[in-house]
Amino acid sequence: MGLSLFGGLAGILVLGMPIAIALLIATGISVFFFTETSLIVLVQRLFVSLDSFSLMALPFFMIAGGLLEKGGVSKRIVNFANSIVGGLPGGLAIVAFVAAAFFGAISGSSTATVIAIGAILVPTMLKEGYDIRFSVTTLAAAGILGTIIPPSIPMVTFGVSTGASIGDLFSGGIIPGILLTFLMSVYAYLYGKKNIKVEYEFSFAKILRTFKEAIWALLMPLIIIGGIYSGIFTATEAAAVACLYGLIVGIFVYKELKPKVVKEIMEGAVINSAMIMFIVGAAAAFGYVMTKARIPAELSQFIVSLTDNPYVLLLLINVVLLIIGTFMETNAAILIVAPIFTPIILEYGIDPIHFGVMMIVNLSIGMITPPLGVNLFVAAKLKDGLKVNDLLNKHLGMYLLVCLVGLLLITYVEDLVLFIPNLLK
């Protein structure tokens, strides 16, 4: 039955079928031919899995990110980041990472971060003499910070699928996000030192002015994390508060949100949420049949037979996730794989929050890994005439290398993830 489930899923995906439909077809075929379970049970599992208060955070965070993106936040964040690090060699590339980290703390989305920051920075970088392939590749790499810096939509997905605390996942992603921002900025610095002449004058007055302009955007992550850990509201309620906050800032503070734009943001959030919810339901049905066939238990026994060392286990899991991340969307991969690996890592005494952040960092790297790295496709659209193949260059290789170094540190230095959650507790 396991061969039918995974073989059928792989075969259907190769045909180009959407992941949610592929999951349901593979599940339905396996149940119909290899069990006596009624197909009605699958429908029930699909709908029951969506009856979750935590899942409501997904559309709310999408709406909040859209409101702040279209409400004038991205350009103010870029200006603030530029005032701090713009004078360094490779300053504008470093600005891309710092701005992406700030914006990721608002949007929770990788692709939204690429578009919002890239639309402003890429023309400026080209004007300052940066190579076009380096510029666009840098923005693609910066986008992964949107799913690591909290709030993060994949973190919500992981929390829902495994029962891990979404608040702890949010706080656990702060140091790893900062670490990756620093590591990628180091390469940008070395590139700039060799290729770009900086003509920027550092000014504390400019930092203060741009900080005042961006303060409303920078407050939102503090409200979300602070509200969750102070017990004022749950992660889902925090997402709703973020929507209200984004609406107030966009309309009354920055005064750049128009009714037509709000309507477009709502429509986009509804469509994207529906897509993710469909995957969630299909993955739940798939997981139910997988559990019924004892696949997670058998896989656990197999892995345990390979090694009793938790460090080796984490290395094996990382390799598997890196492969999965190259051809599967992050949320879909989490929904399918996380319920399989979570019982295994618990058996080895590995903290689920540490594992969850590690998994999200790993799968986020897949967003800039060929052949299906979604950030590469999005970034290629930032400049007319640019193709995805143009982003497969030495700069992408270096960004992938430093991200893998960061992933190893996050994997084996547990406190990089757990220090802040433990501190807040």
Residue written as token pair 């991205």: 74
pTM of the model: 0.84
CA 11/CA 16 separation, integer angstroms: 9
Closest CA to 62 of 231, 239, 304, 301: 239
Say if residue 56's pLDDT is above 90: no
pLDDT of residue 49: 76
- What is the model's pLDDT at position 63? 86
The amino acid at residue 137 is: T
Please indicate whether residue 36 or residue 137 has the higher confidence score (pLDDT). Answer: 137
Q: Is the pLDDT of residue 18 over 90?
A: no
Question: How high is the pLDDT of residue 200?
Answer: 67
What residue spans of 128-197 are helical by DSSP H?
Answer: 132-142, 153-162, 166-172, 174-195
Percent of the chain with pLDDT over 70: 96
Burial of residue 149, with CB atoms counted within 10 A of its CB: 0-12 exposed, 13-18 middle, 19 or more buried: buried
For residue 281, count CB atoms less than 10 angstroms from its CB and return exposed for 0-12, middle for 13-18, buried for 19 or more: buried
pLDDT of residue 360: 96
Residue range 349-404, pLDDT digits in tens: 999 999 999 999 999 999 999 877 888 888 988 887 788 888 999 999 999 999 99
| Mean of the per-residue pLDDT values of the chain | 86
Q: What's 249's DSSP letter?
A: I
CA 132/CA 124 separation, integer angstroms: 11
What pLDDT does 173 receive? 94
Digit-coded pLDDT (tens) for 73-90 = 888 888 899 888 888 888
Residue 413 has pLDDT above 80, yes or no: yes
Sequence-distant (6+) residues with CB within 8 A of 310 are: 348, 349, 350
Residue 164 φ then ψ, to 5°: -70, 155
Strand (E) or helix (H) holding 247? helix 235-248
Kindly tell me if the per-residue pLDDT of 199 is higher than 80: no
* pLDDT of 3 over the 70 cut: no
Contact predicate 90/193, CB 8 Å: yes
Contact predicate 147/364, CB 8 Å:
yes
CA dist list (Å): 345 to 155, 161, 162, 296, 316: 18, 15, 12, 12, 12
pLDDT of residue 296: 67
What's the pLDDT band for 94 if we cut at 50, 70, 90? very high
pLDDT at position 365: 94
- pLDDT digits over 132-158, tens only? 999 999 999 999 998 999 888 899 889
- How far apart are the C-alpha atoms of 23 and 321, rounded to whole Å? 19
